[in-house]
Amino acid sequence: MLKKGFLRGLALIAVVAGLYFMARHHGGPADTRGTSIGKESLAPDFSLPDLAGQKLDLLSYRGKVVLLDFWATWCDPCREEIPQFVELQNKYSDRGLQIIGVSMDDGPEPVREFYQRFKMNYPVVMGNAQTGELYGGVLGLPIAFLIGRDGRISAKHIGATDISVLEKEIVNLLQSKAGLSRPGS
């Protein structure tokens, strides 16, 4: 009797949990997939406050491979990507990868709470409309720019990105020495 009741309970949980995950991950209209665009333009410089109020200048990261991620705490695909970015930062930081998050939240409070909860291990700055316009208009999230050691945009990913694709691009850039001493850069 006890066993039957327990099994019934488990079956009910399994059904409802299945509905829950279907609802969370049902694609509906196709989600935007990342689009790799080879750009050679210099990534626009900015100076924005991080979560401690200190200014972060993008230019100071010249020489590193930078993954610049525009995101927000309310953006579901962003929340799914960030743990993967934390892993990438751990894996490749000693080879010169620097991930920088640009939060497009309307204020820093939810971002600070998110930062702690997700144990983010890279700097996050508070973006604004001007920053978005510098990067061609950030009119949907997430959008990520991969920037080479020479400060030039190597790829732009719109929407949630296949992390294996992104990792390959990062490794290629980390291994590449091209552009480090490009005239005019």
Partner 1 sequence: MSFPIKFRPTLLVLIFGTVAIALASVALAYQANLIPASRLINPDDLVKILQSAKSEKPLMIQVGSHVLYSQAHIPSSEFIGPASSESGLQSLRKRVESLPRNKFIVLYCGCCPWSHCPNVKPADDALKAMGFTNVKVLYISNNFGADWVEKGYPIAKGD
Chain residues that interact with partner 1, rule: CB under 8 A: 1-2, 4-6, 8-9, 12-13, 16-17, 19-20, 23-24, 26-32, 72, 74-77, 104-106, 127-129, 132-133, 137-141, 158-159
CB of 73 to partner 1, least distance (A): 10
CB of 163 to partner 1, least distance (A): 17
Write the DSSP string, 85-118: HHHHHHHHGGGTEEEEEEE-SSSSHHHHHHHHHT
6/168 with CB nearer partner 1: 6
50/96 with CB nearer partner 1: 50
User: Cα–Cα distance between 183 and 109 in angstroms, integer?
Assistant: 42
127/151 with CB nearer partner 1: 127
Task: Using CB atoms within 10 Å of the CB of residue 39, give its burial: 0 to 12 exposed, 13 to 18 middle, 19+ buried.
Answer: middle
Q: Considering Cα of 157, then 162, then 166, then 168, what sign does the dihedral take?
A: negative
